[in-house]
Amino acid sequence: MSRGPIERLPEHDASNLNRNMQHKEALSLRLALGSILGPKRPFTPSTSSHSSSGTASPAHPVTFGLPVSPGMPPPPPASTPIHPPLDGRFDYLHPRHVFVPPPPSRLGHPDSAKELHWPMGSPWTSAPSSTPMSPHVTTSQSASPMDECPPPLALPPPIVDHPTPPKRPSVHAPKPVSAPPVVPAAHSAAGSGSGTPKAKFLETLDSNRAWDALIHGSFSRYASKEMAHLFSPANRFYTWRSLWLNLAIAERELGLPVTEEAIEQMKANLDLTPEQFEIAAQEEKKRRHDVMAHVHTFGTVAPAAAGIIHLGATSCYVTDNADLIFLRTGLPYLIRSLGVLISRLSVFAEEYRALPTLGFTHFQPAQLTTVGKRATLWIQELLWDLRNIIRARDDLGFRGVKGTTGTQASFLALFDGDHDKVETLDKRVTELSGFTYAYPVTSQTYSRKVDIDVLAPLASLGATAHKIATDIRLLANLKEMEEPFESTQIGSSAMAYKRNPMRCERVCSLSRHLMVLHQNALMTSSVQWFERTLDDSANRRITLPEAFLTADIVLSTLQNVSEGLVVYPKVIARRIAQELPFMATENVIMAIVKAGGDRQEAHEQIRVLSHQAAHQVKQLGLENDLIERIRAEPYFDPIKGQLDELLDPASFVGRAPEQVDAFVRDWVTPALAPAEIQGAIQQSQKVELSV
């Protein structure tokens, strides 16, 4: 009997509304966390188009999840749809923010330089810093349909740790900071009341260093706080401001009209407050240019410098030079971490220098080696990676001040044709920024071959780490060796007995990603047309941070594994006993020849007995009884007293223990001798993984 369509009762409107609210709030939290470094499709109003100008990437707006100020538009009436239309017409700043399309950008026009000066009465100069206002909504607007909406929900004002930032001199590198707070995971929860996950999340966002935690979402699970901070928005824009300060200092020293007051105001405001992030986000939304957005934002807190910030420079002065600073800062961190890992594995190699283990070729049983000798194979490749990363660090230069196409034409005009002053400016800014030299020639950007040279040793490190982790995973299957396994750790939600090598699996997973990132650098460099194209920008914003964050995670995870490797000698001995009789046959043949026997006859005797023993093992599932068969064969009576000695596993490992000693003494110790690495080893602690 056929059935008609099943009738479903309509769901209650309240349940739909509640589910939609939960979905929307979860979406807003996810967007706030994930939109910091990830590339975003630029907002394109459906009614008009705005062209991007300048050289900064328009595909990566800086957006943040701060609460809206009381001056922002209130929420729409309840009758309007809960979900925004999927055409880009929603704002990442807050789910209640209603976007008003900005006027066309004036950037790129001949008179755009005038925009460096903030007009009196602008929203940014007239509004209190604690309540930043939208550039499109002011308190003097006439009544509109929005005015009839209910008032917005009261939200706590942003918390500023330092209302008056302390003065700081010109910096040579990104400042070290204490560990940033951990942003709580965003759970979908209806409402924003006190104690809800969303309320706690927003409260965390209000802290001055919350931005340090808003690093690429996929890395927040594993990355170290130091490396995450290095590539955080807070540190990136701090570095931009430091570069503008260094440029202003050098220009003042060479006679350009830069006042001492301007310098002091810039020094005092290198850190961005959450309110300034909000201003910069609104500026970028209006101007479609991240660098100019931050030029204007910096000018609001350093008004005496507003007219000279970025003087003579192009966008790549801050973006490229900042990237080089990040590379120069990140490489030593990886060098120190790699040195610690090599040190840990060397201790392991020395401890097990003489423990025989079955070697494998083609993953088939081969001659014996030792557990420690196998570890030296891992260490040797890590030493090569260490050498290559040090070389990349030492070769790294600075872009300097080169102008829009690398000719320094703008600076030559500023100094009235004085070539010496232009060269001095370039050298002075390079020195203030902590570099020993600048690349002698550049286009608008530094050559993207530099990125290739930096990412190549990181990709090579990924290959080494993958090989090490794979070896450990295979040994875990053989039950000869295991990575650390906590007493309360769960290997499988279904199979309670499982002891999965999840840390080494993580290393393999991330190492593959690290190896692939180098391909991005190769392709990006190959398609840079003439003096530059912008299709490198969005790619590099992802590739460079991810390469360093991934390498950092791989090294810390491998260090954790190396500090807790568990070796099972009895399992190793049992497997040796299963295979050694076959391997010992050559020694048996040589011994019988020394006792006066015939080599060919001995070979035939061993061949027959070996095949009989193999039949026992493979066809009947019994133990290997080759030695018992040899003992029972009268032909081998002359050497039966030597069989135990001939079967000693230590006699099959050759010079493996001595090779370990020589390798550690002659290669590892000198490589770890530099003070930088020795200091890291002495100060290092065991890595404790949170997951």
Q: Which residues are catalytic?
A: 362, 492
Cα 281 from Cα 283, distance rounded (Å): 5
Cα 67 from Cα 52, distance rounded (Å): 28
Cα 326 from Cα 342, distance rounded (Å): 24
How many CB atoms neighbour CB 620 within 10 A?
8
Cα 65 from Cα 63, distance rounded (Å): 7
Place of tokens 């192009």: 314
Angle between helices 197-205 and 13-34 (to 10 degrees): 30
Q: How far are the Cα atoms of 182, 217, 541, 570 from residue 187, in angstroms, in the given order?
A: 15, 14, 28, 48
CB–CB of 378/468 below 8 Å? yes
Q: How close are the terminal C-alpha atoms of the chain, in Å? A: 55
DSSP 385-403: HHHHHHHHHHH--B--S--
Residue 164 CA, distance from chain mean position: 32
CB–CB of 640/631 below 8 Å? yes
CB–CB of 272/280 below 8 Å? yes
DSSP for residue 438: B
Tokens at 420, concatenated: 């010496």
Q: Which residues contact 532 (CB under 8 A, 6 or more apart)?
A: 55, 316, 443, 444, 445
Angle between helices 315-351 and 233-253 (to 10 degrees): 120
Nearest residue to 560 (alpha-carbon basis) of 423, 687, 673, 428: 687
Cα 265 from Cα 287, distance rounded (Å): 25
Q: Is 100 exposed, middle or buried (0-12, 13-18, 19+ CB in 10 A)?
A: exposed
Angle, alpha carbons 137-125-241 (nearest 5°): 110
Determine the length of the chain.
Answer: 691
Cα 470 from Cα 10, distance rounded (Å): 54
Nearest residue to 279 (alpha-carbon basis) of 132, 59, 120, 122: 132
Q: Which residues contact 489 (CB under 8 A, 6 or more apart)?
A: none
